[in-house]
Amino acid sequence: MPPAIVNFIAGQVGVQQLVVSGTSTTAQTPPSHPRAAFLVLLIIISFTISAIAQEPADTAAFDLPDERPAPPTSVVVTDFKYDAGNRVDITWVPSIDDQPELTLVDGYTVYRSANGGDYKLLDSLLPGISMYEDEEVTPDSVYTYYVATMSGKDTVQSVVTQEIRPEWELVNFDLAWLFVIAVIISGSIVWFIWRARAGADLFVRKIAGLDAVDEAIGRATEMGRPILFIPGILDMDDVQTIAGLTILGRVAKQIADYDTRIRMPVSRSLVMTAARETIKASYQVAGRPDAYSDDMVSYVTDEQFGYVAAVDGIMVREKPATIFLLGAFFAESLILAETGNSIGAIQIAGTARPAQLPFFIAACDFTLIGEELFAASAYLSGEPKQLGSLKGQDVGKGIAMLAIILGMVAVTMATAFEIDFFQMIADGLNQVFSTKAE
Amino acid sequence: MASTIATILLILVGVSLLYIAYRTITGRPVERRIVFIYIALAVALPLFMTLPAPVQVTPDVERLYDALEELRPGSKVLVSFDYDPPSAPELQPMAVAFMKYAFKHDLRVIVMGLWPQGPQLANLAIEEAMADQEIAAKNLEYGVDYVNLGFQSGNEFVIQAMGTQFKRMFPQDDRRIPYDSIPLMANVTNFSNVDFVFNLSSGKPGTIEWVQIAVDRFGATMGAGNTAVQAPQVYPYLRAKQLHGLLGGMSGAAEFEKIVEEPGDGTTFILSQMFAHAIVILFVIIGNAAFFTERRKQE
Amino acid sequence: MRREVPLIITSIAGLVFAISFFIPLLGDAQNRFSDWVSIVQSFAVWLGLLNLTKVSLEKITRKREGWQYAILTVVSLVIMLAIGMFDGFSGLAQDPPVSYREPGTNFDWMFRYVYTPLTSTMFAMLAFFVASASYRAFRARNFEATLLLVAGFFVMGGRVPLFDLLIRWFTDYPLFNQFADWIMTYPNTAGQRAIMIGIALGIMSSSLRIILGIERSHVGGQ
Amino acid sequence: MDISNFLAAVLTLGIFSFLYKDNPVYRACEAIFVGVSAGYWAIVFFFDNLQKKFWEGVFPPDGSAGDHLLWFGAILGVLMLFRLSSKIGWIARWPLAFIVGATAGLYMITYFVSNAMNQVADTMLSLIVVNDVTGSIIWTQTIGALVVAVGVISGLVYFFFSKEHKGVFGATAKVGIWFLMITFGASFGYTVMSRMSLLIGRMSFLFRDWLGLIG
């Protein structure tokens, strides 16, 4: 017989004793033999029946001011699974007198004894509560607990639980599915990076916004006006800035080919250095190293609004024909996009920050939405780690889509036709993906 | 009196927009400073008006309210103030209404902040709630009925460590009382000992981090109030029941004030909010009307 | 040495946090690390302050553009620090100790009447810029942008009692409020969720690269 | 007149003066803002973290045993300050590496669990929502479930980069972009709402708290 059930019965015995004698209980050794348990069960049933039979009398007794509440029953202590051996859970069935409309029960108190020592108060809990997590235990000790109903100054104790020694587990098997899926996705990311390094040709679809780049640069050349490039306001440690600079490499090469001017005010000194290197390299590739100058990139200030004011000034004075806004943007996104719009420039924007994307979409001609920015960067640079990650993430998305479709079909079939098989699949999938803590 | 004048002025503002529309469509758009004046008036004038705005309580707000109603008197609520003064117009009304509700329903409030300014804004909210007569009559005691644990640096790592032990990150409260000497915290080890977590958030760290760590990892029950900028992003959590209720922006504040029957700033400001939205919508329409006339001419 | 040590530190810290989800015994190490993160972040804030001072002083001594304002920055910084330190240490000397930012302290006064108006107003200016952008820049230039603006209209007009007041003559039913709510609850949730799943996978792959040492930009590599 | 509020009002108007045009008053207020806010942050982190958590953690005021492992945090922190020097600035990468690593490790799983796995689980919706009691279909929720399911899948298709957007796949991606646009529209509306609230807060400060014109 599982210990929980034994305990449950032991708890019931405790209650019955209380009801009969009206005194608090002493520790009970749980019946160890199934037949004994059965006997106890019989006794409980008979008592319950007699209790029901006596109901009117009981209700009358309820109103007496000196009535003592019943203790909590079925007090069970269980080891919390998959921890470092530092938590046990105590659960109980609230006292039958614990009803929202009655005020007899003031709450519960939980007591613990470690290694057979004295019982110490752990916590006082509100009425209606039926669980306590004790997280101040160690695997080195053995514990027993009891719970008491509080009523004014009076407390009525439950039976004492079985002894428990918290156990620790090495691996949290509750999260096994999470682990498996994480490993599949991580594995495919690593695998694709490795493949890309080995020179495999990984396919990435065309990104619509990139087609517009050539056209935009061509337009600036025709009009004889400069091109402005803003890589966001974060530093080189942000992936969006890096993606912005990757695209800059491609843009700068085109600019060198067309012999147009580029202007790039930045808000971080590290970004300035990196941007200069990028443009210089592009000019070299285009075979025009002589045309490059450090003045193309200038540092303005780290201060958000100070930077915006300076960039606004440049826009109004120099009237660039094309503006690139690619990187991490915050509240300044809309100020920049608005000014760019007001001077009639073609604007190509991209950021992964969801709160700023709407403004770019509404005010710019082309916008790289979120991950498109990274995809564009991977596509243009062909860098193995970027390409590999992109493909690996696609595997993750594939799993997500598949799971959603499967789960949806299963749940829908189960609801519509009440077929157990589908319900089983639906429950299984839900178990795999849902990881809500209890 | 002031209300009438404000209303008349506002009508004049509305009429003058017609002229702006005419100018813009005929290709002579006004300067941005003119636009600035319009928005200033649209926000300021309604502050003087006494029109009642019919606030409609949405299901997301109702869900928070229902979750709160389930808490018995004496329940412990952890409120994290994760915002700074710029977001206070949206979040402070929520904070005040929440405090008033909590104190009136005898909930024990534990305040903390992951943003350095949070605990001070919490003090302001508590001050305002205490000014309420019914609450003042309760003579609530610091450390017993409510406590301000203060701020700790470490962003989401603070939540992570709190999952094991609050005390680890808050060895003393904001008033420098040791954790172990605070009666309210006597039996509070970690999230399993608080009944509800309420998070007021305007960014990072905020609701997203709380859901990821406190809810999904440590099993806390949580509701949140967010600035409107952030609110749309947390809707998926709301659907997946990782969040129990959400107050979004000023309208969320006004709705919450309505449902808990504690009218405050949210209710007062909603009128200004309404006119500001009207102006923005009208400006977008005017701008686009001009845009399309222009485009037609070019064709 | 310059590259390897930080790479090893990164990997260990990353592994402890990632794996402790599955191995409960690592919980303690993880909490230790959280302590350290918390302390390092304080130093980062002080680094910012020292950096600001350095830059401002350079500006002043070299008389660069706007050096007069740099003086103001340094002076206000020193005043704020002095008040905070004074309130803090004098409070600690009392029995029982008093916090440096208890209501009524000078530091709290600075917070309420200097810091709050400055920072709040700084951000409040955005309202003006949104308005002028809506007049000058937000255009229904293609189908996507049109869809965006229309959805935006319904949300803006529905979340406050604006559109519903306009239809008051016809019906009392909060039609637009309900519709805005519907947009938020269904299409918005769907779109946000798609973005969310994508970002989560993106973060996973960049974290993995960092932990495995494939990504080295933070240690000065490429 | 209350001197405190007067000062706050002057600072408020000083910042707002930028709306007319960039001017010395605005730049002065901005300079004060930068200084005061840096000082504010530094003080809070000093007392609430360095003094309260670190120092009193290592040397508890009640004389109990201190937690000396906290020193590691402080040592890493001090290394961070080396960044100010150009010669040995590289050593500041150690604490940075620690922070970057810890954040990567934590995010790797938290984002995956909360933002991917649980969201996928919640999207496995029944496309028919039935009232438990009457057995009839609840149309609003059925349509809602359909919208969420189609939106999430088509959105994911849009962000799927390993396949060209052609045929059915392309059409699905097209639907995906529509959903994204509605989402961004909602964000747009909410962001406007947020920005306006900030201004309302300042206006109410000026007219109510300072001038006392509103009751």
Residues C128 and C70 in one domain: yes
One-letter amino acid for residue A151 of the chain: S
- Other C-beta atoms lying within 10 Å of the C-beta of residue C50: 14
Mean pLDDT over the full length of chain C: 92
Categorize the per-residue pLDDT at A15 as very low, low, confident or very high, splitting at 50, 70 and 90: very low
pLDDT above 50: residue A394? yes
- The yes-or-no verdict on residue A55 having pLDDT over 50 is no
Q: Residue C71 burial (CB < 10 Å; 0-12/13-18/19+)?
A: middle
Write down the pLDDT at residue B21: 94
| Low-confidence winner among A349-358, C79-88, D47-56 (lowest mean pLDDT) | A349-358
**Can you tell me the distance from the alpha carbon of B292 to that of B284, in angstroms, rounded to the nearest whole number?**
12
Task: Answer whether B178 touches C (CB < 8 Å).
Answer: no
Segments forming the whole domain that contains residue C38: 1-60
Q: Does C106 share its domain with C171?
A: no
Nearest residue in C to B269, CA atom? C160
pLDDT at C23 over 70: yes
Closest alpha carbon to A368 in A280, D162, A394, A378: A378
Query: How high is the mean pLDDT of chain B?
Result: 94
Q: Which of A124, A126, A435 sits opposite B216 (nearest CB)?
A: A435
**pLDDT exceeds 70 at position D52:** yes
pTM, two decimal places: 0.90
Largest pairwise CA distance in chain A = 105
Q: What percent of chain A has pLDDT over 70?
A: 84
DSSP label of D59: S
Chain A: give the shortest CA distance to residue B10, in Å: 27
In the three-class reduction of DSSP (H, G, I as helix; E, B as strand; rest coil), residue B203 is classed as coil
In degrees, rounded to 5, the angle at the alpha carbon of residue B148 between the alpha carbons of residues B147 and B152 is 140
Q: What is the CA radius of gyration of chain B?
A: 23
> What is the amino acid identity at position B251?
S
Query: Nearest C-alpha of chain C: how many angstroms from B294?
Result: 12
The yes-or-no verdict on residue A92 having pLDDT over 80 is yes
Q: What is the mean pLDDT of residues A225-230?
A: 96
Mean pLDDT (whole number) for C7-11: 94
Instruction: Assign A64 a pLDDT band (cuts: 50, 70, 90).
Output: very low
Q: For residue C96, is the peptide bond before it cis, meaning its omega torsion is within 30 degrees of 0? A: yes
Q: What digits encode the pLDDT tens for the residues B37-96?
A: 999 999 999 999 887 778 999 999 999 999 999 998 999 999 999 999 999 999 999 999
pLDDT band at A62 (very low <50, low <70, confident <90, very high): very low
Among the partner-chain residues C127, C140, C165, the one whose CB lies closest to the CB of B288 is C140
pLDDT score of D131: 84
Which tokens belong to D79? 């290394």
Strand partners, D66: none
Calculate how close chain B gets to D103, using CA atoms only, in Å.
9
Co-location of C72 and C2 in the same domain: no
**Cα–Cα distances in angstroms (integers) from residue A424 to residues A174, A432, A436, B275, D98, in the given order:** 19, 12, 19, 53, 45
Whether C104 and C155 share a structural domain:
no
Residue of C nearest to B267 (CA): C160
Residue C156 — very low, low, confident or very high, per pLDDT cuts 50/70/90?
very high
Rg, chain A, Cα only: 35
pLDDT value of residue B18? 93
C-alpha D148/C-alpha C193 separation (Å) is 9
Backbone angles phi, psi at A132, to 5 degrees: -140, 135
Tokens linked to A164: 């428990």
| Closest by Cα among A418, A189, A230 to A322 | A230
Cβ within 8 Å, pair C209-A237: no
pLDDT in tens, B174-218: 999 999 999 999 889 999 999 999 999 998 899 999 999 999 999
Q: What is the 3-state secondary structure (H, E, C) of chain A?
A: CCHHHHHHHHHHHHHHHHHHHCCCCCCCCCCCCHHHHHHHHHHHHHHHHHHHHCHHHHHHHHCCCCCCCCCCEEEEEEECCCCECCCEEEEEECCCCCCCCCCCCCEEEEEEEECCCCCEEEEEECCCCCEEEECCCCCCCCEEEEEEEEECCEEEECCCCCCECCCECCCCHHHHHHHHHHHHHHHHHHHHHHHHHCCCCCCCCCCHHHHHHHHHHHHHHHHCCCEEEEEECCCCCCHHHHHHHHHHHHHHHHHHHHCCCEEEEECCHHHHHHHHHHHHHHHHHCCCHHHCCHHHEEECCCCHHHHHHHHHHHHHHHCCCEEEEEEECCCHHHHHHHHHHHCCCEEEEEECCCCCHHHHHHHCCEEEECHHHHHHHHHHHCCHHHHHHHHHHHHHHHHHHHHHHHHHHHHHHHHHHCCHHHHHHHHHHHHHHCCCCC
Could you say which architecture CATH assigns to the domain A208-382?
Answer: 3-Layer(aba) Sandwich (3.40)
Mean pLDDT within A285-291: 92
In angstroms, the CA A214 to CA A251 distance is 8
Residue C201 has pLDDT above 50, yes or no: yes
Asked if D102's CB is within 8 angstroms of B157's CB, the reply is yes
Nearest chain D residue to C183 by CA distance is D186
Domain boundaries, chain A: 3-157, 173-199+387-433, 208-382
d(CA C23, CA C10) in angstroms, rounded, equals 19
- DSSP letter at D47 equals I
CA angle A212, A217, A218 (to 5 degrees): 100
CA end-to-end span of chain A, whole Å?
26
pLDDT at A38: 57
- Of B69, B43, B98, give the one whose Cα is nearest residue B224: B98
Distance CA B221, CA B207 (A): 12
Question: Model confidence over D182-206: pLDDT tens digits?
Answer: 999 999 999 999 999 999 999 999 9
Q: Which of A218, A344, A320, A349 is nearest to A262 (CA)?
A: A320
- pLDDT at position C128 is 95
Confidence of residue A224 (pLDDT cuts 50, 70, 90): very high
* Residues C174 and C191 reside in one and the same domain: yes
Measured CA distances, D100 to A270, A351, C14 (Å) = 18, 22, 8
Residue C221 reports pLDDT greater than 80: no
Give B64 to chain C, closest Cα distance, Å. Answer: 15
Architecture, CATH, for domain A3-157? Sandwich (2.60)
Chains B–C, number of C-beta pairs less than 8 Å apart? 172
Closest CA to B203 of B230, B242, B166: B230
Residue D42, classified by CB atoms within 10 Å of its CB into exposed (0-12), middle (13-18) or buried (19+), is buried
DSSP strands (E only) in B167-286: 196-201, 222-226, 246-248
* Chain C residues lying within 8 Å of D55, measured CB to CB: none
Side chain identity at residue A158, one-letter code: S
Q: What are the backbone angles phi and psi of residue C132, rounded to the nearest 5°?
A: -70, -35
Q: What is the mean pLDDT of residues A353-372?
A: 91
Summarize the confidence of residues A33-53 as an average pLDDT.
56
pLDDT score at D87: 84
Mean of the per-residue pLDDT values for chain D?
Answer: 92
Between CA A357 and CA A335 the distance in angstroms is 13
- DSSP assigned state of C69: H
> Cα B92 to the chain's mean position, in Å?
6
Answer yes or no: is the ipTM higher than 0.95.
no
- Give the pairing of strands A107-114 and A120-125: antiparallel
Are residues A361 and C145, on separate chains, in Cβ contact within 8 Å? yes
Whether the predicted pLDDT of A118 surpasses 50: yes
Mode of pairing for the β-strands spanning B196-201 and B222-226: parallel
CA nearest to B173, candidates B191, B137, B147, B154: B147
**Alpha carbon distance C213, D70 (integer Å):** 27
C137 and B CB contact within 8 Å: yes
Amino acid (one-letter) located at A97: D
Q: What is the mean pLDDT of chain A?
A: 83
Q: Please tell me the least confidently modeled range out of A211-215, A347-351, B232-236.
A: A211-215
Chain B, residues 204-263, CB within 8 A of chain D, namely 209, 211-213, 215-217, 227-229, 231-233, 236-237, 239-242, 248-251
> Does any CB of chain D come closer than 8 Å to the CB of residue C126?
yes
pLDDT tens digits, one per residue of C30-48: 999 999 999 999 999 999 9
pLDDT band at residue A47 using 50, 70 and 90 as cut-offs: low
Which domain-ending residue is among C77, C110, C138?
C138
Look at residue A358 and tell me whether its pLDDT is greater than 90: yes
Question: What is the model's pLDDT at position A436?
Answer: 62
Instruction: Answer yes or no: are the C-beta atoms of A77 and A88 closer than 8 Å.
Output: yes
**Overall residue count recorded for chain A in this entry:** 438
Chain B residues with CB-CB distance to C143 below 8 A: none
D161 min Cα distance to partner chain B (Å): 23
Q: What is the pLDDT of residue A416?
A: 86
Number of domains in chain C: 3
Are D126 and A359 in contact (CB < 8 Å)?
no
Amino acid type, C42: S
Per-residue pLDDT band for D136 (boundaries 50, 70, 90) equals confident
B57 touches chain C (CB under 8 A): no
Query: Hey, which chains touch D, using 3+ CB pairs under 8 Å?
Result: A, B, C
- Tens-digit pLDDT profile for residues C79-104: 999 999 999 999 999 988 889 999 88
With beta carbons under 8 A apart, name residues in chain C contacting B249. 159
Residues of D in contact with C156 (CB under 8 A): 189, 192-193
Residues C56 and C78 in one domain: no
Lowest mean pLDDT among A424-438, B262-276, C73-87: A424-438
Average pLDDT over every residue of A108-119 = 91
C2 pLDDT more than 90: no
CA distance C8 to chain B (A): 21
pLDDT range class, residue A8, cuts 50, 70, 90 = very low
Q: How confident is the model at residue B149 (pLDDT cuts 50, 70, 90)?
A: very high
Candidates B32, B43, B175; nearest CB to C99: B175
**C130 contacts chain B (CB < 8 A):** yes
A152: Cα separation from own chain's centroid: 43
Residues of A near B (Cβ–Cβ under 8 Å) read: 107, 122-124, 126-128, 133, 135-136, 354-355, 435-438
d(Cα D94, Cα D200) in Å, to the nearest integer?
45
Mark yes or no for CB contact B187/A123 under 8 Å: yes
pLDDT of residue A303: 75
Nearest to C161 among B54, B154, B236 (CB): B54
* pLDDT score recorded for residue A355: 85
Q: Residue ranges of the domains in chain D?
A: 125-215
Strands A107-114 and A143-151: antiparallel
Q: Is D21 exposed, middle or buried (0-12, 13-18, 19+ CB in 10 A)?
A: exposed
Q: Is C51 in the same domain as C87?
A: no
Same structural domain for residues C29 and C56? Answer: yes
pLDDT beyond 60 at C76: yes
Instruction: Report residue A21's pLDDT band, with 50, 70 and 90 as the boundaries.
Output: very low
Backbone angles phi, psi at B30, to 5 degrees: -80, 165
- Chain B residues 133-192 within an 8 A CB cutoff of chain D: 150-154, 156-157, 160, 169, 171-172, 176, 178
| B139 DSSP 8-state letter | T
Select from C60, C85, C110 the last residue of a domain: C60
Residue A25's pLDDT band (cuts 50, 70, 90) = very low
> SS3 of B47, please?
helix
* Average pLDDT for A147-151: 90
Note the pLDDT of residue A1. 38
Per-residue b/e over A150-175, b at no fewer than 16 CB within 10 Å? Answer: bbeeebbbbbbbbebebeebeebeeb
Residues of chain A found within 8 Å of residue C201, distances taken between Cβ atoms: 185, 393, 396-397
Give how far Cα A189 sits from Cα of A392, A395, C17, Å. Answer: 4, 8, 20
More confident residue, A211 or A291: A291
Question: Which chains form contacts with chain C, at 3 or more CB pairs under 8 Å?
Answer: A, B, D
How close, in Å, is residue B245 to chain D by CA atoms? 17
Chain D nearest-CA residue for A182: D112
Domain C-terminal end among C138, C169, C202: C138
Least confident of B271-285, C171-185, C205-219, D18-32: C205-219
Q: What is the mean pLDDT of residues A310-339?
A: 92
Residues C114 and C91 in one domain: yes
**Residue A100 pLDDT > 80:** no
Short-list C74, A357, C221, C113, CA closest to D96: C221
Supply the Cα-derived Rg of chain D in whole angstroms.
Answer: 28
Q: Which of A16, A263, A288, A293 is nearest to A158 (CA)?
A: A16
Of A36-45, D80-89, D110-119, D146-155, give the lowest mean pLDDT range. A36-45
- Please compute the mean of the pLDDT values over residues C158-163 and round it to a whole number: 92
SS3 content of chain C, % helix, strand, coil (to 5): 80, 0, 20
Phi then psi for A160, rounded to 5 degrees?
Answer: -90, 140
